[in-house]
Chains A and B, each alone.
Chain A
Amino acid sequence: MRLLSSASNRVVLTLVTLAIGSLLLGDFASVQANRIVPGSGFGLFAALGSAWAVALLAALVTLAALALHPSPAGYRGMLLLISLLLLQWPASLAWFIHTQIPADQAQARAGLATGCWSLLFFALLLLIEVRQRLAPAAGWWRLGPLGLLLVTGLLIYSGYLEPLALLREYSSRSAQFWQALRGHLGLVGGALGFSLLFGVALALLIRRQPQLQRSVFGVLNFFQTIPSLALFGLLIAPLSYLAAHSPLLQQLGIRGIGWAPALLALVAYSLLPIVRNTSVALQAVAAEVIESARGMGMSPWQVFSQVRLPLALPVILEGMRITSIQAIGLTAVAALIGAEGFGSFIFQGLGQGAMDLVLLGALPTIVLALLADALFSALARYFQPGVG
């Protein structure tokens, strides 16, 4: 029997090979005596000890063996192994900290290196692949990632992960962190709110006056082509001028830098997806549905609010999904012109060469984008017509 048959799951085999390779070739984690000095790297065996390292590799090899001749039972076994890999991930970090960092060194910090990141990354990809093969009955694929979050949370809460560089950066800036979160969400929410208001109004205007369509989309497309940094920069001068000559604007806190130019730029970028999706969605409602709504005796407002808008809603929500993800990313960049948000950590970290501070800004930004994606996708599914 050939080792690699046509039935083998090559995706799993490739991912496992890459995971093993990065665990063996790269550092697993590192230790710094304090924030300034360069850290020293630890390979897999040095970081976790032989027993843990061998068990980890054995689990990966078993996974590969199961993928050679996969069966439904084999896939369930793979899912179990992947869930265990995810669960042990925060535990292995805690174990590394426990064995390598003396408790009396308050400045010493542990960093995550290639091996550690790749293991998490490949384990999640493996989860996606195996979950598809097990569809549709295996709802317990969620146990792995949920357990990962739970164990990580517990370990953070109980202080075992305290010496992680990321958490050290957080604990010295916890007040700023929550301030940044509020600032980030405030800007994104404000941009989304304003662009929804103006975007829907513009879309309705285009429906009334189709000859405006070309020019409206021309202007909005033009905004999209301006690089975000340039647009932020371009807004500083006019806003400074306006603020300097208007006490009212000064009282509102509008200045050439800060949230005002950031919000304006975000709204400018957000309008295109909202206007485009809204006008396309409103136009795409089937003519015979509108015809019968009118024929039943609905008023124009009832046709719009009860028929056209609800049928267009999933596509409008899709526009809001794109807009919110885009705005979350752009808000990070807006830190450069003094807007609050996670971007300030990223740029500070880049300036100081402190990658963990960069991560403290980047990771929450990514999480926010993923949450916005999930939220609006779920809303669009919920409002999908005719799904009971």
Chain B
Amino acid sequence: MSARPMIELDNVSRLFEGVAAVDGISLRIDSGEICVIVGTSGCGKSTTLRLLNKLIDCSSGDIRIDGQAIAQLDAQRLRRRMGYAIQNTGLFPHWTVARNISVVPRLLNWPTERIEARVHELLELLGLPHADFAHKFPSQLSGGQAQRVGVARALAGDPDILLMDEPFGALDPITRDSLQNELLRIQSRIHKTIVFVTHDIDEALKLATRIVVMDQGRIVQHDTPVNLLNHPANAFVESLLGQGERGLKRASLQRVAERMLPLQGTPPAFSVAAQDSLRQALSLMLWHRVGELCVRDNEGRAVGLLPISALLHGATA
């Protein structure tokens, strides 16, 4: 592995009144990964996240961030180096959007001009025009807008690591979906190391480079989304994935471009985009009752053919 380990947990436990919420977990998260910790309520996933920025201290074990043991680091300085976004945003209701975003840069004593430029940049990055939003108060925002501000605030100090605790959990499905896409778009530009906690397996499959499945304070499986679907470690992971939906979930992780065949003869009447998922392609076939689709690129040019057999065969990861 060439990637640099950014976060390492070594046999970490956390007891609450004698009961282990986190029970001897070891984990390595590489730089630039989106590591999604998924599990049912009370499985210890939020506790694990809060151990990373020392909102909770470990009972035993070591955590290293970028090679440094956090036990030796000052908690406040450590937190200023990590973005933190939580469910229900935790925005400060008495401050404007701009003031909320500038919290960490102010704590880091950035010069005023740099803070203003950063706020401007982040609002534009999150699709919130500065002129419209900078001076609003959190109570004047919709749920989706508030969570965008929450993400912008987490990114403000330009941290290497972003910790996100069910940040989209309280949003409606459509807003959640668009914010997930937004996060992937932003990550493709900024390449942070993101640790993301959720109970939603679909969110995990969509966002993660690797997924950590936790149950009763232990790590059950740590693998890529495709491997998780293909080789669930035990019955708990299988049930989390939802038995009847596994095929569709795997199909939604693969692009049409990976399976298409060279175009021959007249293109079929119905088309699918090359970057769409196999799940979308299958849905189109079912809807139009056809066995093959024409694959088109971003400019709308016919670039390939997708017969239904390509969905069934083709390389499985």
Contact = CB atoms under 8 A, between A and B. Distances in A.
Contact of A387 (B87, B135, B137): B137
B129 interface: no
Nearest to A388: B137
Interface string A357-388: 00000000000000000000000000001111
Contacts of A286: 90
B107 A296 contact: yes
A296 B79 contact: yes
Interface string A329-369: 00000000000000000000000000000000000000000
A295 B92 contact: no
A292 B136 CA distance: 19
B112 interface: no
Contact of B92 (A293, A294, A297, A299): A293
Interface string B61-87: 000000000000001111110001011
Given A288-B86, A311-B93, A295 B135 contact: no
A298 B75 CA distance: 10
B107 A298 contact: yes
A292 B93 contact: no
A190 interface: no
A197 B171 CA distance: 43
B224 to A, nearest CB: 29
A156 B75 CA distance: 67
Contacts of A297: 75-80, 104, 107
A296 B94 contact: no
Contacts of B135: 388
B48 interface: no
Contacts of B53: 295
B138 interface: yes
A104 interface: no
A310 interface: yes
Interface in B80-123: 80, 84, 86-94, 96, 103-104, 107
A387 B95 CA distance: 9
Contact of A294 (B79, B89, B139): B79
B96 A388 contact: yes
Given A299-B76, A307-B92, A387-B137, A291 B86 contact: yes
B55 interface: yes
A290 to B, nearest CB: 8
A291 to B, nearest CB: 6
Interface in A272-313: 286, 288-289, 291-299, 302, 307, 310-311
A289 B153 CA distance: 13
B138 A291 contact: no
Main secondary structure of the interface of A (DSSP, over half): helix
Contacts of B94: 310-311, 385-386
B140 interface: yes
Nearest to B80: A297
B84 A385 contact: no
Contacts of A386: 93-94, 137-140
Nearest to A294: B55
Contacts of B77: 297
B171 to A, nearest CB: 15
B158 to A, nearest CB: 14
Contacts of B138: 386
A299 B139 CA distance: 26
A379 to B, nearest CB: 15
Nearest to A386: B137
A295 B84 contact: yes
Contact of B93 (A291, A295, A385): A385
Contact of A291 (B75, B78, B90, B103): B90
A296 B84 contact: yes
- Pick from A298, A386, A387 the residue with the most CB of B within 10 Å: A386
Contacts of A310: 94
18 contacts: A286-B90, A288-B89, A289-B90, A291-B55, A292-B86, A292-B91, A292-B92, A294-B55, A296-B79, A297-B75, A297-B77, A297-B80, A297-B104, A298-B107, A302-B107, A385-B94, A385-B137, A386-B138
The 5 A-B pairs of least Cβ separation, nearest first, read A292-B90, A385-B94, A297-B79, A386-B137, A297-B80
Given A307-B92, A310-B94, 20 more contacts: A286-B90, A288-B88, A293-B90, A293-B103, A294-B79, A295-B86, A296-B80, A296-B84, A296-B104, A297-B78, A297-B79, A298-B107, A299-B76, A311-B92, A311-B94, A385-B93, A385-B137, A386-B93, A386-B140, A388-B137
Interface of B: 53, 55, 75-80, 84, 86-94, 96, 103-104, 107, 135-140, 153, 163
Interface of A: 286, 288-289, 291-299, 302, 307, 310-311, 385-388
